[in-house]
Amino acid sequence: MMCVTNCPSVETLSQHLEADGAGEEQRQIADHVETCHTCQITLQTLLCSDTLVTSAFSTPAAAIGVGEPRIAGYEILGELGRGGMGVVYKARDLKLGRLVALKTILAGAHAGPQELQRFRTEAEAAARLQHPNIIQIHEVGTYDGRAYLALEFCPGGGLDRKLREAPLAPMEAARLVETLARAIDTAHSAGVVHRDLKPANVLFAADGTPKVADFGLAKQLDQEAGQTATGAIVGTPSYMAPEQATGKAGVVGPAVDVYALGALLYECLTGRPPFKAATPLDTLAQVLHDEPVPPRQLQSKVPRDLETITLKCLRKEAGKRYSSALELAEDLQRLQAGLPVKARPVGVLERTWRWCGRNRAVAGLLGAVAATLLIGALTASYFAIEAGKNADRLEAVLSENVAIRRRGVQTTVWFLKYLKDNPELANLSYEDLFVQFRLAHPDVTDADLIGAFVPPVADFPPVSSAGLGETFRFDARMFGS
What is the Cα–Cα distance from 100 to 208, expressed in whole angstroms? 17
Range of the domain at 22: 10-62
In a domain, 103, yes or no: no
Residues with Cβ < 8 Å from 200, sequence gap 6 or more? Answer: 50, 158, 159, 160, 214
Residue from 50, 185, 196, 257 carrying the catalytic annotation: 196
List C-alpha distances in Å: 36 to 26, 52, 356, 427. 15, 20, 45, 133
In a domain, 135, yes or no: no
Could you give the CA distance from residue 137 to residue 163 in angstroms, rounded to a whole number?
26
Alpha-carbon distance 473 to 55, whole Å? 115
The reply to whether 345 and 407 lie within a common domain is no
| Domain final position from 46, 62, 78 | 62
pLDDT of residue 479: 39
- 418 exposed, middle or buried (CB, 10 Å; 0-12, 13-18, 19+)? middle
Three-state DSSP class for residue 63: helix
Show which of 331, 358, 385 is a domain's final residue. Answer: 358
Examine residue 118 and state whether it is found in any structural domain, yes or no: no
pTM beyond 0.75: no
Same domain (yes/no): 326, 398 = no
Whether residues 399 and 339 fall in one domain = no
pLDDT for 170? 97
- Active site includes 448? no
Q: What pLDDT is attached to residue 446?
A: 73
- pLDDT of 108: 54
What are the pLDDT tens digits along the chain (481 aa)?
A: 334 356 777 567 666 665 655 677 777 777 776 666 556 555 554 544 444 443 333 333 333 444 678 899 999 999 988 766 678 999 999 999 999 999 887 655 555 566 666 677 777 777 788 899 999 988 888 888 788 889 999 999 999 999 999 999 999 999 999 999 999 999 999 889 988 899 999 999 999 999 999 887 767 665 544 444 444 566 788 999 999 888 766 678 899 999 999 999 999 999 999 999 988 888 888 999 999 999 999 999 999 999 999 999 999 999 999 999 999 999 999 999 999 999 888 655 555 655 565 566 776 777 778 888 888 888 888 888 878 777 777 777 777 777 777 777 777 887 788 778 888 777 777 777 777 777 877 877 777 776 666 544 444 444 444 444 444 444 444 434 4
Residue 466, domain member (yes or no): yes
Residues 354 and 397 reside in one and the same domain:
no
> Where is the domain boundary, 62, 78, 102?
62
Q: Are residues 418 and 351 in the same domain?
A: no
Does 337 share its domain with 263? yes
Q: Which helix (H) or strand (E) segment is 87 a member of?
A: strand 86-93
Q: How far apart are CA 358 and CA 360, in angstroms?
A: 6
Say if CB 58 and CB 114 are below 8 A apart: yes
> Phi first, then psi: what are they for 278, rounded to 5°?
-70, -30
Regarding whether 405 and 354 lie in a shared domain, the answer is: no
Q: Are residues 284 and 433 in the same domain?
A: no
Residue 141, in any domain of the structure: no
**H or E element in which residue 89 lies:** strand 86-93
- Indicate whether 456 belongs to any domain: yes
The verdict on 294 and 419 lying in the same domain is no
Residue 221, pLDDT score: 61
- E strands in 419-466: none
How many domains does the structure of the chain reveal?
3
Q: Answer whether residue 198 is part of any domain.
A: yes
Give the pLDDT of residue 258: 97
Helix (H, G, I), strand (E, B) or coil at 211: strand
- Angle, helix 325-336 to helix 304-313, in steps of 10 degrees: 180
Residues 306 and 400 in one domain: no
The DSSP line for 185-201 is HHHHHTTEE-S---GGG
State the Cα–Cα distance between residues 481 and 475, nearest whole angstrom.
9
Residue 43: per-residue pLDDT? 56
Residue 298 and residue 304: Cα distance in Å, rounded? Answer: 13
Q: Are residues 278 and 335 located together in one domain of the fold?
A: yes
Distances (CA, A) of 434 to 131, 453, 479: 118, 12, 20
Query: Is 133 contained in some domain?
Result: no
Whether residues 163 and 307 fall in one domain: yes
Rounded CA separation 225/207 (Å)? 40
Give the CATH number for residue 218: 1.10.510.10
